Structure 1
């Protein structure tokens, strides 16, 4: 039990850990290395309703919040099975559609997200925009029968597993006048949508893709929320993305520490378990402290989001601290193992790559620091064109 959590949340956490523990790192890494998907684990999590804990009850979900979903994400990762699509499909897409989707969009997508039969991807990142989401060049132009989508997105996770993609685009009217940024539901089989996989060194079952939208025709009802209100609806999903991203990291950190402690007790050198040596135990203890502090911020952020208060500061801080702590935990676990830390048998090195990735995505540590400097400390904006 985590400090202050309810008995219901503890039961959820234990139940998820039991299900994910039946799979573990052997299953996860085997799937990732051979190009298989983790469909069996996804289905096992879906059957008791874990994937839909944050989806409203009227659409087949559990009616909970990001707090409950965070517990699902963290415990799955702590079992050695960090699933990036949990951060995308229910956390971002489910949250945005539940809040801003039309009745038809909710009926179409939320039940499938809740029961695990439907996955959705999210596309905002572009080659030339980077972290500057206000500079996206993908456009949706209004026509007599709907919208025409043109542009490129990249580093989009899990498109090959998704039924549809939430796409952020700059909208224009028939004459080319800007209408603001809007959000669209785009089926993955839409004519004109092409994808190419990005080769990565990361060991993960979810693949990354570049997407090309070549005059993709969308009906008027593909817009999520109001035309021009895209950033408002997108930002509704970004805090859950950061919070569940932190949960992936804290789960990885917990997994790494568990492996390190086990090895520290079993491995004996100079007549004593290596865990008795302060040169190894103290750095591991320090990593544990950093991890638990990150978890406190993560739960604070989840609580604020579910309470309807502004969770942007806590969400960014949680994502930042969890990424730093997880990387420290994995690194120290590898150090505890010595050369064995890089051996496939001990299932540690692949998690270093995943932990390192989360320092960059879904938001880089530098952009988090920019946010804290500007919005938490009140310092002048330090990036972009006009500074305020």
Structure 2
């Protein structure tokens, strides 16, 4: 592997920075839109009178950004050319996600909503990989133009990290399937037209096979959003869903019946490594801001940065970022080279949990380095901590990620290779 940034990605970063400065930043600065990125007024994103859902003006602003990014040719960069993309690589996405996050919070990249000028489309990729030709022709154009918005319903009230024990079931009734069960943290349901619902169709609890992914209309009889679950970082788009005798047809199955966890694995596999890359970028942003502050802050007649108690913790985190980035780039490159996902799933887990933990540590240390001002909301640390803290739980908890590494290391899931 060549550790130089590929030429096409290097050009992309330059073009992105120019596009953000010339097009996106002026939109962010107009009409008091900056209120959504002002850490003191972040509350403006949340519609407290509508159950804590995202504010309509906020989401309209994000939609405007996506239109501009799509028009400029950036939004679909990672997607195949036949869907208007550029056949972007996993390595390229890792580099881009870190770069955009390191610029800090802004309309160009706001990971609270997984919203970015270079889009992350895991539900589209699931359809592209596992959908039938007819499904792809029908769904993908609609998913990209926003007329179809698909949520992701895997987690349940009693079953999170281990989906093999899920209690939602789908029973065949002629040419239809009848779904019953509940889903927790069902992402994107406040605006979704459809939902990827995972349900057991055969096999026994604890078995990986026998789970099927269904494409379920959110307005189907028996599909009920019981509540939206408030979180550490608001607003929320995470629903508690109840499914009571919801009927779908065979054409609504994504992939093969009984092999739905394969489709879910694609979703979490690609998301995990990109989350790790974004966390590295956001953590480095915290370090950048802290270094600038302590270099210019005078205490006891000299710059605060001259104290080793300030230097050493930030220097150690900066070193850690370099090591995590190297692992992320190597793993993303291996994904692009076609390495069997089962052979590098432990590496993806390492990228994810170490990247996310690093970001939280960097936000906490940067806050401490900047003292009272770091604790205040006019600096970005508390916002970044609250957002990236979720990633140590979602897409598989830290403990689950470490278990994947241990499984390879101790030979429970195949001996680790170095």
TM-score normalised according to structure 2 size:
0.81
Classify 1:90/1:236 alpha carbon distance in 2 versus 1 (closer, same or farther; 3 Å): same
Classify 1:292/1:40 alpha carbon distance in 2 versus 1 (closer, same or farther; 3 Å): farther
Structure 2 counterpart of 1:132: 162
Classify 1:272/1:157 alpha carbon distance in 2 versus 1 (closer, same or farther; 3 Å): farther
Classify 1:101/1:90 alpha carbon distance in 2 versus 1 (closer, same or farther; 3 Å): farther
Instruction: Give 2:88's match in structure 1, choosing from 49, 64, 67.
Output: 64
Matches within 5 A, 1:185-200: 185-195=215-225, 196-200=227-231
Matches within 5 A, 1:199-238: 199-203=230-234, 205=235, 207-238=237-268
Structure 2 counterpart of 1:95: 125
1:12 aligns with 2:12: yes
Classify 1:290/1:67 alpha carbon distance in 2 versus 1 (closer, same or farther; 3 Å): same
Classify 1:11/1:287 alpha carbon distance in 2 versus 1 (closer, same or farther; 3 Å): same
Deviation of residue 367 (structure 1)? 0.8
Counterparts of 1:63 and 1:380, CA distance in 2: 32
Deviation of residue 228 (structure 1)? 1.0
Classify 1:92/1:283 alpha carbon distance in 2 versus 1 (closer, same or farther; 3 Å): same
Unaligned runs of 5+ in 1: 382-388
Tell whether the 8 Å contact from 2:200 to 2:211 is kept in structure 1 after alignment: yes
Provide the secondary structure at the position in 2 that maps to 1:212: strand
Structure 1 counterpart of 2:367: 334
Classify 1:165/1:65 alpha carbon distance in 2 versus 1 (closer, same or farther; 3 Å): farther
Deviation of residue 118 (structure 1)? 5.1
Tell whether the 8 Å contact from 2:347 to 2:405 is kept in structure 1 after alignment: no
Deviation of residue 87 (structure 1)? 8.9
Deviation per residue, 1:183-219 (Å, 9 max, x gap):
112233333222220011214x552211111222212
Structure 2 counterpart of 1:166: 196
Q: Following superposition, which runs of at least 4 residues in structure 1 exceed 6 angstroms of deviation?
A: none
Structure 2 counterpart of 1:363: 396
Tell whether the 8 Å contact from 2:179 to 2:246 is kept in structure 1 after alignment: yes
Instruction: Give 1:317's match in structure 2, choosing from 325, 331, 350.
Output: 350
Deviation per residue, 1:305-359 (Å, 9 max, x gap):
2222133122111001101211111111101211111212112212111222211
1:378 aligns with 2:402: no
Counterparts of 2:147 and 2:16, CA distance in 1: 18
Classify 1:315/1:101 alpha carbon distance in 2 versus 1 (closer, same or farther; 3 Å): same
Deviation of residue 162 (structure 1)? 3.0
Instruction: Give 2:111's match in structure 1, choosing from 83, 96, 118.
Output: 83
Counterparts of 1:206 and 1:297, CA distance in 2: 32
Counterparts of 1:51 and 1:281, CA distance in 2: 38
Classify 1:117/1:305 alpha carbon distance in 2 versus 1 (closer, same or farther; 3 Å): farther
1:153 aligns with 2:183: yes
Tell whether the 8 Å contact from 1:52 to 1:115 is kept in structure 2 after alignment: no
Structure 2 counterpart of 1:386: none
Provide the secondary structure at the position in 1 that maps to 2:201: strand
Provide the secondary structure at the position in 2 that maps to 1:366: helix
* Greater CA drift, 125-134 or 61-70: 61-70
* Greater CA drift, 187-196 or 345-354: 187-196
Tell whether the 8 Å contact from 1:85 to 1:157 is kept in structure 2 after alignment: no
* Greater CA drift, 367-376 or 189-198: 189-198
1:352 aligns with 2:385: yes
Deviation of residue 19 (structure 1)? 4.7
* Greater CA drift, 315-324 or 136-145: 136-145
Q: How many residues end up aligned between the 2 structures?
A: 375
Matches within 5 A, 1:157-306: 157-172=187-202, 180-195=210-225, 196-203=227-234, 205=235, 207-306=237-336
Counterparts of 1:95 and 1:235, CA distance in 2: 11
Deviation per residue, 1:103-135 (Å, 9 max, x gap):
122123323444566543211111111211100
Provide the secondary structure at the position in 2 that maps to 1:281: helix
* Greater CA drift, 186-195 or 12-21: 12-21
Instruction: Give 1:53's match in structure 2, choosing from 74, 77, 89.
Output: 77
Counterparts of 2:113 and 2:66, CA distance in 1: 10
